[in-house]
């Protein structure tokens, strides 16, 4: 569906309209600082990478699909399936912020799509838990379902601040929400 955010993204040279969701959430919740090293999970086609190349110091984008090379020299990309059992060996180092817009290919069957989204978001959290610095931030997209509250309760064990949000650029009929998690700690 072509809408105003789609047109705006085209006009402003962004690869996807989802960039405006990140801009809104980052403005509201101060997730990313200029000095930060960011990990972007489910990064293709790359609009969040384009944004992070200006918002942060460095960004690594991973996706199961190839990500077309970006011009910025503080952006690196890897073609990876986050379900790969050796994923942590392939994503090295620590990050100040992990952002995940990962989403399954939707089938149109609500329960199946919700479950796939939950599994991918849990996987993104597993990576975040192992790759975030103390006090780091995590942003996670998920399709709403009865299971999401349980997932949020699990996140609460590791972050001092949790909120959910549906940004303006998120399509009305879309069941996606974003979970904003700040101040990661392993000592809660």
Ligand X SMILES: C[S@@+](CC[C@H](N)C(=O)[O-])C[C@H]1O[C@@H](n2cnc3c(N)ncnc32)[C@H](O)[C@@H]1O
Q: Could you tell me the smallest distance in angstroms from the CB atom of residue 102 to ligand X? A: 4
Please count the other Cβ atoms lying within 10 Å of the Cβ belonging to residue 101. 23
- Tokens of residue 173, six digits: 């009929």
Is 141 a catalytic site residue? yes
Residue with smallest beta-carbon separation from ligand X: 42
CB 159 within 8 A of CB 182: yes
Pattern 19-48, ligand X, x by CB under 6 A: x----------------------xxxxxxx
Question: Quick one: 173 or 187, whose CB is closer to ligand X?
Answer: 173
Q: Could you tell me the smallest distance in angstroms from the CB atom of residue 134 to ligand X? A: 26
* Closest CA relative to residue 20, chosen from 9, 34, 30: 9
The span from the CA of 119 to the CA of 132, in Å, is: 20
* Closest CA relative to residue 154, chosen from 140, 168, 166: 140
Annotated catalytic residue, options 94, 141, 172, 182: 141
Of 5, 18, 25, 128, the residue at the interface with ligand X (CB under 6 A) is 18
Q: Could you tell me the smallest distance in angstroms from the CB atom of residue 17 to ligand X? A: 8
CB 97 within 8 A of CB 56: yes
| Residue 37 backbone dihedrals phi, psi, to 5 degrees | -105, 125
CB 17 within 8 A of CB 5: yes
Question: Quick one: 91 or 181, whose CB is closer to ligand X?
Answer: 91
- Considering only the stretches 28-36, 60-68, 150-158, 160-168, report the one whose residues sit in contact with ligand X under the rule CB under 6 A: 60-68
Where in 129-188 is the site for ligand X (CB under 6 A)? none
DSSP E strands, 13-158: 37-41, 58-63, 75-79, 95-100, 132-143
CB 173 within 8 A of CB 112: no
Question: Quick one: 44 or 148, whose CB is closer to ligand X?
Answer: 44
Where in 98-127 is the site for ligand X (CB under 6 A)? 101-104, 120
Q: Which residues are catalytic?
A: 141
Contact positions toward ligand X, by CB under 6 A?
Answer: 15-16, 18-19, 42-48, 63-65, 81-83, 101-104, 120
């Amino acid at each position: 569906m072509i809408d105003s955010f789609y047109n705006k993204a085209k006009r402003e040279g962004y690869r996807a309209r989802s960039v405006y969701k990140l801009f809104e959430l980052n403005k509201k919740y101060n997730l990313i600082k200029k000095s930060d090293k960011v990990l972007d999970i489910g990064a293709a086609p790359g609009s969040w990478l384009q944004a992070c190349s200006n918002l942060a110091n460095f960004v690594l984008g991973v996706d199961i699909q190839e990500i077309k090379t970006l011009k910025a020299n503080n952006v690196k990309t890897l073609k990876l399936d986050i379900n790969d059992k050796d994923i942590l060996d392939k994503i090295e180092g620590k990050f100040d912020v992990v952002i995940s817009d990962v989403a399954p290919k939707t089938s149109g069957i609500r329960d199946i799509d919700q479950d796939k989204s939950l599994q991918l978001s849990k996987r993104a959290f597993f990576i975040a838990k192992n790759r975030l610095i103390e006090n780091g931030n995590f942003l996670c997209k998920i399709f709403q379902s009865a299971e999401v509250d349980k997932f949020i309760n699990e996140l609460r064990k590791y972050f001092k601040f949790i909120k959910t949000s549906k940004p303006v650029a998120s399509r009305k009929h879309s069941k996606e929400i974003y979970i904003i998690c700040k101040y990661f700690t392993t000592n809660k």
